[in-house]
């Protein structure tokens, strides 16, 4: 086999290996970022579920304060 062909095959193998390694690293990074976003969405959804309950409690507290202020007069 001619040396140029051997060099070309080694270059091809190196390029292919580098490409697949880059794809693997990129895939892992994308997966990590997706997991982080899922955690943030879960936290936001929990907050969104709790907000109406808190708003209702604030309304009740405001009514109690108004009732107490009305009794003092």
d(CA 59, CA 71): 19
| pLDDT of the residue at 32 | 98
Report pLDDT for 73.
Answer: 59
Q: Is the pTM of this model over 0.75?
A: no
The number of domains in the chain is: 1
Between CA 57 and CA 62 the distance in angstroms is: 9
* Three-state DSSP class for residue 18: helix
Q: By three-state DSSP, how is residue 1 classified?
A: coil
List, for the chain, all residue ranges whose pLDDT scores fall below the cut of 50: none
**Rounded Cα distance, 73 and 54, in Å:** 29
For residue 14, give both structure tokens. 């190196």
pLDDT on residue 48: 85
Range of the domain at 1: 1-73
């Amino acid at each position: 086999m001619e040396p140029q062909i051997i060099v070309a095959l080694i270059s091809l193998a190196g390029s292919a290996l580098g490409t697949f390694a880059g794809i693997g690293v990129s895939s892992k990074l994308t997966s990590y970022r997706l997991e982080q976003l899922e955690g943030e969405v879960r936290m936001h959804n929990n907050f969104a579920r709790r907000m109406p309950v808190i708003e209702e409690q604030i309304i009740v507290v405001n009514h109690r304060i108004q009732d107490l202020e009305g009794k003092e007069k």
